[in-house]
Amino acid sequence: MTYQMSSPLMKTRTLLFSCLAIVLAGCKPAANAPAEKAAESAPAPPAAKSNKPQVLVANYPLQYFAQRLAGDSVEVRLLAPKGEDPAFWQPDEAAITAFQNADLILMNGAGYSKWADKVTLPESKVVDTSAAFANNFIEVRDATTHSHGPGGQHSHNGTAFTTWIDFKQASMQAQAVSDALAKLVPASKEAISKNTEALKDELEALDERMSALSRRLAQQQVVASHPVYHYLARRYGLSLKSVLWEPDTVLDDQALSDLNAVLAGFRARRMIWEGEPSKDSVEKLAGLGLQSVVFDPCGNVPASGDFMSVMKANVEAMEKAFP
């Protein structure tokens, strides 16, 4: 005799087991489901953090020096946004915290990073790369306040800070970077030393080319589009006066009036620009008897090439402009 289990309790249990089986089956990926679909449903692994010492820098020349000297043994970071002059950049709270937590902070010195005077940085980690020639800084007075880019209004009064376009000083800054990195990553000391010699050889070659050119430069008067060439002028004998123009400046009547005021009694035949000027500017200056020459200080990451290729192009441009 066969008995039917028809009690309410047994029916309830049967229903519960059936529901549980359906739920469990729904939790399993289909046997023929694509592997990438299963992967998409899994949580992403956390981003890997670098175990390398963190080196933060004030500008691109120091970034280039540090990366070239230490290679992969450190992580070098320039926090100033591309297209903005790091000398007038104002770091936000996150950037300041990053500096404070860095293993090494490479500063340009010469009053370059004015924001640093208003925050507390760990002194044991800060290296002033221009300290070796601090006694030879150039003081700028009576500079006009002006504005360009996101940095807002600023003045070039105080200490001239574009130190590295005197290639002798750039070599000294590279040595300061080398000494700091050798202490930070002693296991790479030998490689850093070798790389330092190669870098300094290239900087000294640029210095020799500009010094050879200085015999011709000393006989020339030159206008600069911006007051950032003090150390270039002193090292290589340029007689220089500056206006306050950006490469994309539209040469209106006021700009030309300012230029004519500078040219009064100053027989310049060339103007040095920080970047490639507009065709309109080149043509208007040519009409005044002025040849345009680009000498890019390269304070931030260049659009193409690197620090050394930009500096070589600068020297070549000067050699062509002053044959």
* Whole-angstrom distance, CA of residue 202 vs CA of residue 310: 13
Structural domain span for residue 95: 54-199
Is 224 within the bounds of a domain? yes
The residue among 130, 150, 134, 135 whose CA lies nearest residue 62 is 130
Taking CA atoms, 51 is separated from 68, 74, 240, in Å, by 19, 9, 48
Q: What is the pTM of this model?
A: 0.81
pLDDT of residue 142: 58
CA distance 288 to 11: 103
Do 184 and 64 share a domain, yes or no? yes
Give all strands (DSSP E) within 2-118, no chain letters: 54-57, 75-78, 104-107
Q: Residue 225: phi, psi to the nearest 5?
A: -75, -15
145/96 same-domain check: yes
Question: What is the pLDDT confidence band of residue 22, given thresholds at 50, 70 and 90?
Answer: very low
Of the given ranges (45-59, 100-114, 115-129, 261-275), which has the lowest mean pLDDT? 45-59
Query: Pick the residue with more confidence: 102 or 252?
Result: 102
Q: Which secondary structure element, helix H or strand E, spans residue 221, and what is its range?
A: strand 221-224
Classify 209 as helix, strand or coil.
helix
CATH of the domain at 143: 3.40.50.1980
* Longest CA–CA separation in the chain, Å: 128
121 falls within a domain: yes
Please determine, for residue 300, whether its predicted confidence score (pLDDT) is greater than 80. Answer: yes
The whole-chain average pLDDT of the chain stands at: 84
Long-range contacts of 60-64 (CB under 8 A, 24+ apart): 60/86, 60/298, 60/299, 60/300, 60/301, 60/302, 60/307, 61/108, 61/164, 61/170, 61/173, 61/298, 61/299, 61/307, 62/106, 62/107, 62/108, 62/129, 62/173, 62/177, 63/301, 64/306, 64/307, 64/308
Residue 239 three-state SS: strand
CA dist 213 and 319 (Å) reads 7
- Note whether 61 and 195 are same-domain residues: yes
Which residue, of 175, 199, 223, is where some domain finishes? 199
Among 141, 167, 199, the domain boundary falls at 199
**Coil/strand/helix, residue 242:** strand
For the cut 60, the answer to whether the pLDDT of residue 10 exceeds it is no
Q: How many domains does the chain have?
A: 2
Q: Is residue 195 part of a domain?
A: yes
Amino acid identity of residue 73, one-letter, is S
Nearest to 167, CA basis, from 57, 316, 69, 297: 297
Is 234 in the same domain as 106? no
**pLDDT digits 0-9 by tens, 81-121:** 998 999 999 999 999 999 999 999 999 999 999 999 999 99
Give pLDDT, residue 157. 62
Residues 73 and 88 grouped into a single domain: yes
The residue that leads in pLDDT, 10 or 209, is: 209
One domain for residues 247 and 295: yes
Residue 37 confidence (pLDDT): 36
Which among 199, 228, 243 is the end of a domain? 199
Which whole number is the average pLDDT over 61-77? 98
68 and 184 assigned to the same domain: yes
Query: Is residue 32's pLDDT more than 70?
Result: no
